[in-house]
C-alpha cells in the first residue's frame, strides 16, 4: 500500500513537475569513463564530464543518459585544453585551423610575445568576428611594436613626449583587451631601451591588471642580471612577471640553474609574483642576426650592410663574435642550424660549420664568421641553436612555477624547417618528460599547461575542469601520447590525442580537423575600461 502510494506520488510529480522527475537536462556532449585530471594538480579521478552551450555543465558522477553526443574515454585522460602562454601567432588568421597546436592539445594561444605584437590589438582580436578560428586567441602588447611606431629604430632614449605617446599606445591596447606588456630586450629596437622606459610602460599595463612577459636582455653570459632586471621591472610596476622561454644559452654557465631559478625563488619569497615558461628542447630558435653584436645591426639590415662594407668595422665585428663564442665556451658555429634561408634553401637543415665546409672548404671559425656575414648581407636566415643543456631543461621543468609554452607560430604544413616545438612541445612533455623520464608527474604537467597559465594571465573561467568553466577539453592516451617532429623533419603532428574540444565544439576528432571553428578571442582585465 505504502509502495503503491509512492508510485502514485511519483507519477503525479512526473506529470506536474517534469523538472523534478528528470533533473538532468539534455547535454550537448558527455565524455564518459574518463580519468579526469582537473588542471589544479590534484590526482586524477574517474567520472564523466558534460558540456552544454560551450560550458562545462557537470563533472563527476551523474546521469549521463540524455546527451546528444557521447564520447567514450575508457582508458583515457580528459584534461582542460592546454594554454600556450608564449606563442608567436600573429599569423593565426591566415591559418585559422592552427592544426599544429590543436593536434598537441593546445586550445588557447597567447601571442604578442618577445616585444612583437599586432599594433592594433582591438582590430586583431576583433578579426575573429569575420574570420573564425578553431583555437582561442589572446594577445600581449609588444614593446618593440610600440617603440618602433614612436621612436623608430633609433638607438636612443625616448623624449618625454615620445614616452607619453608610447604610454598612450599601451593604454589603448590594454583597454582593447591585451593581457599585458611583452618585451624582447635582445631585439631591435627593444634592446635600446633602458630599464626606466620599460618600467613606465609596465606601470600603464599594471593599472589594467596586465602581466609583464619578457624575453629578457640576455640568456647567455649575463642571464643573472637580465633575470634581475625583469623582476625589478615587475616590482617597480607592481605587476606579475613572466620570464619567457627560461634557459641558459652559454655553455660556460650550463648547470647554473640553482642560481637562475634561485633568483626567481628569492623574488617570490619577497612577495613578487614571478613565473617562467619553457619549451621542452635543449635548442632555441631565432634569427641569424642574433649572432651579431647589437651595435653592428642597429638601424636595420641596410645599416648593418654598410658597417660590414667597411673593412675595419667588419674586422671589429668578427673579433667580437669570436670573442663571444670563446666566452660561452663554444668551439665553433656547429651549434647553429639553418631553419630557413631564402637566398639558398639548400642550406636548410645544415649547420654553419657544415655550410662553411661546403661553400668555403674550411673548418676555421674565421671562415664561419665570413659565411654568417654573407648570409646576413643576403637577407639573413631563421636559425635553430643547440645551445642548452638537457640537465638545465629538466631542472627548470621540475620547478612548480614553470609553465609549458611553445614559442611557436602557427605552422604551414611542409613549409621551411622550423623548430619542432611548434608541432611537438606539449606532447613531448607528456611522452618524454612525464612517461619516460618521470621528471614531473602527469597531473603536475597538466597543471603547468592549464590552471597555472590561466591564473597568471587572468583567465578566470579556463584552465580547469570545473562546472561553469569554458569547455576547452582534451582527451588523450597517456600511454601513447608522443611528439614526432624533429629538427630534421619538423612537419609531423603529435599523436595520442583522440578529441580536442574548444568552447564546446569538437575541433579535432582523433584523425582529422572537423572544420568546427569555435575559438574565441580572450580579452584581458582592462577590456572596455
Least separation, in Å, of the C-beta of 215 and Zn ion?
Answer: 3
- Cα 419 from chain centroid? 13
Contacts of 446 (CB under 8 A, 6+ apart): 37, 39, 41, 79, 80
Minimum CB separation of residue 201 from Zn ion in Å reads 18
In 66-117, which ranges are continuous DSSP H helix? 99-102
143 binds Zn ion per the rule CB under 5 A: no
CA 80 from centroid of its chain's CA atoms: 16
Cell numbers of 250, please?
A: 652559454
The footprint of Zn ion on residues 493-512 (CB under 5 A) is none
Residue 115 CB, shortest distance to Zn ion, in Å, is 8
Question: Would you state the cell numbers that stand for residue 491, as one nine-digit string?
Answer: 612537419
**Is 214 or 273 the residue whose CB approaches Zn ion more closely?**
214
Give Dmax over CA atoms of the chain in angstroms.
108
In the bound state with Zn ion, the residue whose beta carbon lies nearer, of 115 and 158, is 115
Instruction: Measure the CA angle with vertex 402, ends 399 and 407; round to 5°.
Output: 145
Give me the least distance between CB of 243 and Zn ion, in Å please. 10
For Zn ion, which stretch binds (CB under 5 A), given 47-55, 61-69, 109-117, 481-489? 109-117
CB of 498 to Zn ion, least distance (A): 32
Contacts (CB under 5 A) with Zn ion, residues 377-436? none
Q: By CB under 5 A, which span of 15-23, 74-82, 113-121, 455-463 interacts with Zn ion?
A: 113-121
Distance CA 107, CA 474 (A): 9
> How far apart are CB 116 and Zn ion at their closest, in Å?
9
Beta carbon nearer to Zn ion, 158 or 190 = 190
Using alpha carbons, list the distances in angstroms from residue 207 to 37, 181, 195, 212.
34, 12, 19, 12
Q: How far is the CB of 245 from Zn ion (least distance, A)?
A: 6
DSSP state of 29: E
Q: How far is the CB of 270 from Zn ion (least distance, A)?
A: 26
Q: How far apart are alpha carbons 451 and 457 in whole angstroms?
A: 10
**Among the residue ranges 169-177, 207-215, 247-255, 417-425, the one whose residues contact Zn ion (CB under 5 A):** 207-215
φ, ψ of residue 56 to 5 degrees: the values are -80, 120
513/506 Cα distance (integer angstroms): 9
Smallest CA-to-CA distance from 98 within 75, 128, 126, 71 is with 128
Q: Which span (214-222, 291-299, 346-354, 464-472) binds Zn ion, by CB under 5 A?
A: 214-222
Q: Which one of the spans 33-41, 132-140, 210-218, 520-528 is the region binding Zn ion (CB under 5 A)?
A: 210-218
Kindly state the cell numbers that stand for 283: 635548442
88 binds Zn ion (CB under 5 A): no
Closer to Zn ion at the Cβ: 201 or 353? 201
Q: Is the Cβ–Cβ distance between 211 and 179 less than 8 Å?
A: yes
Closest CB 279 distance from Zn ion, rounded Å: 10
Nearer to Zn ion, 178 or 470 (CB): 178
Nearer to Zn ion, 182 or 495 (CB): 182
Nearer to Zn ion, 80 or 184 (CB): 184
Nearer to Zn ion, 406 or 495 (CB): 406
Number of residues that bind Zn ion (CB under 5 A): 2
Closest approach of Cβ 184 to Zn ion, in Å?
A: 6
Q: Ramachandran region of residue 241, left (φ > 0), alpha (ψ -120 to 50) or beta? A: beta
Question: Residue 140 or 429: which CB sits closer to Zn ion?
Answer: 140
Neighbours of 68 (CB within 10 A): 11
**What sign does the dihedral 295-301-302-306 (CA atoms) show?**
positive
The residue range among 2-10, 213-221, 360-368, 423-431 that interacts with Zn ion, by the rule CB under 5 A, is 213-221
Rule CB under 5 A: say whether 114 interacts with Zn ion.
yes
Torsion angle of C-alpha atoms 107, 407, 209, 174, degrees rounded to 10? -90
User: For Zn ion, which stretch binds (CB under 5 A), given 2-10, 212-220, 428-436, 508-516?
Assistant: 212-220
In the complex, least distance from residue 244 CB atom to Zn ion, rounded to whole angstroms = 5
CB closer to Zn ion out of 64 and 406: 406
What are the residues facing 242 on neighbouring strands?
213, 275
Which segments within 165-261 are labelled E, that is strand?
A: 180-184, 211-215, 241-243
Which of 50/275 has CB closer to Zn ion? 275
**Cβ(29)–Cβ(506) under 8 Å?**
yes
Residue of 58, 215, 428, 523 interacting with Zn ion (CB under 5 A) = 215
3-state secondary structure of 297: helix
* Prior bond of 189 cis (ω within 30°): yes
Cell, residue 1: 500500500
Interface segment toward Zn ion; rule CB under 5 A; list 198-206, 211-219, 351-359, 390-398: 211-219
Interacting stretch for Zn ion, rule CB under 5 A, among 112-120, 143-151, 256-264, 497-505? 112-120
In the bound state with Zn ion, the residue whose beta carbon lies nearer, of 215 and 217, is 215
Give the nearer residue to Zn ion in terms of CB position, either 278 or 495: 278
For the chain, what is the radius of gyration of the CA atoms? 25
Nearest approach in angstroms of CB 113 to Zn ion is: 6
CA 466 centroid distance within chain: 24
The kind and range of the H/E element at 299 are none
**List of residues contacting Zn ion (CB under 5 A):** 114, 215
Amino acid at each position: 500500500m505504502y509502495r503503491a502510494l509512492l508510485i502514485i506520488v511519483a507519477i503525479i510529480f512526473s506529470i506536474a513537475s517534469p523538472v523534478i522527475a528528470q533533473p538532468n537536462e539534455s547535454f550537448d556532449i558527455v565524455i564518459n569513463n574518463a580519468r579526469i585530471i582537473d588542471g589544479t594538480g590534484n590526482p586524477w579521478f574517474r567520472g564523466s564530464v558534460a558540456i552544454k552551450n560551450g560550458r562545462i555543465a557537470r563533472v563527476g558522477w551523474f546521469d549521463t543518459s540524455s546527451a546528444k553526443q557521447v564520447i567514450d574515454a575508457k582508458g583515457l585522460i580528459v584534461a582542460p585544453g592546454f594554454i600556450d602562454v608564449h606563442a608567436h601567432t600573429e599569423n593565426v588568421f591566415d591559418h585559422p585551423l592552427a592544426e599544429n597546436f590543436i593536434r598537441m592539445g593546445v586550445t588557447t594561444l597567447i601571442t604578442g610575445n618577445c616585444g612583437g605584437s599586432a599594433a592594433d590589438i582591438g582590430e586583431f582580436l576583433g578579426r575573429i568576428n569575420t574570420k573564425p578560428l578553431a583555437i582561442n586567441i589572446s594577445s600581449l602588447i609588444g614593446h618593440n611594436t610600440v617603440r618602433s611606431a614612436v621612436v623608430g629604430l633609433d638607438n636612443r632614449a625616448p623624449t618625454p613626449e615620445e614616452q607619453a605617446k608610447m604610454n598612450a599606445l599601451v593604454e589603448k591596447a590594454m583597454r582593447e583587451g591585451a593581457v599585458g606588456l611583452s618585451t624582447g630586450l635582445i631585439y631591435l629596437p627593444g634592446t635600446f631601451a633602458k630599464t626606466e622606459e620599460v618600467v613606465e610602460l609596465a606601470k600603464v599595463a599594471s593599472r589594467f591588471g596586465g602581466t609583464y612577459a619578457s624575453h629578457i636582455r640576455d640568456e647567455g653570459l649575463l642571464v643573472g642580471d637580465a633575470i634581475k632586471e625583469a623582476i625589478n621591472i615587475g616590482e617597480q610596476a607592481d605587476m606579475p612577471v613572466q620570464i619567457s622561454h627560461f634557459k641558459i644559452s652559454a655553455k660556460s654557465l650550463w648547470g647554473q640553474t640553482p642560481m637562475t631559478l634561485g633568483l626567481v625563488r628569492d623574488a617570490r619569497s619577497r612577495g613578487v609574483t614571478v613565473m617562467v615558461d619553457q619549451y621542452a628542447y635543449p635548442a632555441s630558435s631565432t634569427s641569424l642576426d642574433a649572432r651579431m653584436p647589437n651595435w653592428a645591426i642597429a638601424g636595420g639590415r641596410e645599416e648593418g650592410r654598410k658597417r660590414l662594407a667597411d673593412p675595419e668595422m667588419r674586422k671589429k665585428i668578427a673579433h667580437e663574435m669570436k670573442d663571444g663564442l670563446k666566452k660561452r665556451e663554444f668551439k665553433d658555429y656547429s651549434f647553429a642550424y639553418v631553419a630557413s634561408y631564402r637566398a639558398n634553401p639548400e642550406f636548410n637543415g645544415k649547420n654553419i660549420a657544415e655550410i662553411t665546409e661546403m661553400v668555403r672548404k674550411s673548418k676555421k671559425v674565421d671562415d664561419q664568421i665570413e659565411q654568417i656575414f654573407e648570409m646576413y648581407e643576403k637577407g639573413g636566415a631563421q636559425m635553430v641553436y643547440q645551445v642548452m643543456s638537457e640537465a638545465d631543461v629538466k631542472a627548470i621543468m621540475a620547478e612548480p612555477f614553470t609553465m609549458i609554452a611553445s614559442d611557436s607560430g602557427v605552422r604551414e604544413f611542409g613549409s621551411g624547417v622550423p623548430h619542432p616545438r611548434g608541432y611537438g612541445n606539449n606532447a613531448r612533455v607528456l611522452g618524454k618528460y612525464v612517461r619516460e623520464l618521470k621528471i614531473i608527474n602527469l597531473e603536475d604537467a597538466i597543471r603547468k599547461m592549464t590552471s597555472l597559465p590561466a591564473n597568471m594571465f587572468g583567465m578566470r573561467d579556463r584552465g580547469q575542469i570545473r562546472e561553469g568553466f569554458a569547455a576547452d577539453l582534451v582527451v588523450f592516451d597517456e600511454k601513447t601520447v608522443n611528439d614526432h617532429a624533429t629538427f630534421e623533419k619538423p612537419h609531423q603532428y603529435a599523436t595520442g590525442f583522440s578529441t580536442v574540444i574548444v568552447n564546446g565544439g569538437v575541433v579535432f576528432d582523433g584523425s582529422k580537423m572537423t572544420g568546427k571553428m569555435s575559438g574565441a578571442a580572450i580579452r584581458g582585465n582592462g577590456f572596455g575600461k
